[in-house]
Amino acid sequence: MRYINFEGENTISPDDFFMNEALREAKLALAEDEIPIGAIVVCKGQIIGRGHNLTERLTDVSAHAEMQAMTAAANFMGGKYLKDCTLYVTLEPCVMCAGASYWFQVSKIVFGAYDVRMGFGRLNQKVTHPKTEIIGGRIFLNRSGRRWVRGGGRKTLT
């Protein structure tokens, strides 16, 4: 785990930095022929949990990036709650992962791109914790020079 200092000039914002770290996890998923979604959990400027999709390798439909990262973070913290922690994920969490963030009591979720097909935002009900702040669709993927490309049945990250 490493600590990051964001003071000074010519630095990227913490959200951009941590979203790029989530993108690194997505690239690991892609290299493992998984759906390329990555997530990290940050508490007080420290990455305390990382994860990427492992549904194929583990043959477990619940092995989403967010679940991996939140579980790793809770283990690191030695407890079950992630109060004062932020979940960064490259794609809007699904209903299952958003619901899990409720039980982990994640303080903030930042996601890079909306998922109009499976994202929790398409529901009319709130599934995250009432105190959870949501920052979504900020196009971090474009600002970092990368974007998702879907075509021909292949998963790519440029």
Instruction: Look at residue 113 and tell me if it is in a domain.
Output: yes
DSSP assignment of 49-118, as one string?
Answer: EEEE--HHHHT-TT--HHHHHHHHHHHHHTSS--TTEEEEEEE--BHHHHHHHHHHT-SEEEEEE--TTT
Predicted confidence (pLDDT) per residue in 54-78, tens digit: 999 999 999 999 999 999 999 999 9
CATH code (residue 57): 3.40.140.10
Residue 9 annotated among the catalytic residues of the structure: no
Question: How sure is the predictor about 152, in pLDDT bands with cuts at 50, 70 and 90?
Answer: very low
Q: Tell me if 80 is assigned to some domain.
A: yes
Residue 3 lies in a domain: no
User: Is the pLDDT confidence value at 111 over 90?
Assistant: yes
Residue 7 counted as domain residue = no
- pLDDT (tens digit per residue) in 75-97: 999 999 999 999 999 999 999 99
Q: Which of 32, 66, 92, 133 is catalytic?
A: 66
Residue 90 lies in a domain: yes
Residue 8, domain member (yes or no): no
| Structural domain of 56 | 14-157
The conformation of residue 142, written as its DSSP 8-state character, comes to H
For residue 4, tell me if it sits in a domain: no
Instruction: Residue count of the chain, please give it.
Output: 158
Tally of domains within the chain: 1
Say what the pTM is.
0.81
